[in-house]
Amino acid sequence: MRAPVHVPADPAAASFDLSAFRRALTDRTAAAVRALRERIGSETLYAFALYTDAESGYASVRASANTEEGLARAATARAADDPRFRGEAGRRLLRWSAADWDFHDFDAGVREVALPDPAGRRESLDRAILTAMVGALRSVDRAGLFGRGADRAFLTVNVLCPHPSRAFFVRNLRALNPVPTVERHLRETDAAPLVRAVNRAPRRERMRIWLALYEDLYMEWKTPIAEEARARGMSPWDVEAELVKFGPKVVPKLLDLLAHYGFAPPFDSARELETREVWLAGSALFLVRRIGAVPEGQIHRMQTLVAAFVERDRRLKIASTLAENTARVLHELRPRRFPESVMDPQTYKLLNPEPFLPRRR
């Protein structure tokens, strides 16, 4: 067994030798790629990555790789329990999920290259470590170990972490791959084709699809369109940008979501966070504020919801923030009519509900 490559653990220490780290990582990565080529035989390697803990605060580095055949095996195995992973859809979902790859963390030599403790680490050192990881992969690539010509264009090389943002993924993708490889990947994962496909539908149907996707993504439901959107890097905030384009016409539908989900239990004790239902309700409410041009009938509906939230909150020790948030949005939409809201910072309850309640007729 190889002896671990030692790098000083103090992130602030001037003795930390980035050059030595890069050389050690380059050597171990090159050896890992050679061993991987022998191990996969005739299978088609499509991805190789240095896999680390997060987009910053790097505490470890691993070698991770996958083949088209390994991808198919993983999707088939998952499809036995979950039909979402059948066929091409399953392969799309797992293609860039490094933790699910056949050859994830496959090489002890790379694993033994030590990194300094990330606690209190300077941002400049973090950036330098990422640069060293990219540099190690470039050196291996220049040696021809990732292939040449068409073979190299087919293989995607990257630095990955759990759930990387699109910006992190694409930045490293561009730094490490030939232009044709980058362009192919961006075509496969670009959200634009999905957006165009939805927006070719008639306007009313288009709104219905975007609202359904908005709900699916916030609730983390595994519908086909939600999984396709996730595979293309779309978030609920991207969907919000599409919903805003409908203007006041979408406001009643957003208030439907507020009314439907706003009375769910406020907190998820297992996650120690607000429930997904309350997140979705709050998001829909603030999207109404973002649209701005809210008809008077919908203002009255929001007042009715404030009254219902306040009544519900009387029975709770700790409430959701929806009563106060709805009152706040009413103030921002009609500042001459509604005062600023006041919230109890301990219970999150609305302390001045009266001005926001519907007038008795």
The DSSP string of 9-66 is S-TT-TT--HHHHHHHHHHHHHHHHHHHHHHHTTS-EEEEEEEESSSSS---EEEEEE
66 within 8 A of 204, measured Cβ to Cβ: no
Question: What strand order describes the sheet that includes 61-67?
Answer: 103-104, 61-67, 45-52, 156-160
Task: Convert 278-293 to b/e letters by CB count within 10 Å (16 or more is b).
Answer: bbbbbbbbbbbeebee
Residues 6+ apart with CB under 8 A from 96: 47, 160, 169, 189
pLDDT at 3: 53
Strand ranges (E), 231-336:
267-268, 273-274
C-alpha radius of gyration, the chain, whole number: 26
Residue type, 46: Y
pTM summary value: 0.59
pLDDT computed for residue 71 by the predictor: 95
Residue of 159, 142, 136 lying closest to 21 (CA atoms) = 136
Cβ atoms of 319 and 348 within 8 Å: the answer is yes
Q: Which parts of the chain sit beneath pLDDT 70?
A: 1-16, 83-84, 269-273, 361
What pLDDT does residue 274 have?
Answer: 77
d(CA 94, CA 66): 10
Close Cβ partners of 95 (under 8 Å, ≥ 6 residues apart): 46, 47, 66, 71
If residue 160 lies in a helix (H) or strand (E), which one and from where to where?
A: strand 156-160
Residue 12 corresponds to which tokens in the numbers above? 């602030």
pLDDT at 87: 77
- Tell me which H or E stretch contains 104: strand 103-104
| Rounded distance between C-alpha atoms, residue 125 and residue 123, angstroms | 5
DSSP H helical ranges for 120-189? 123-142, 150-154, 166-176, 179-189
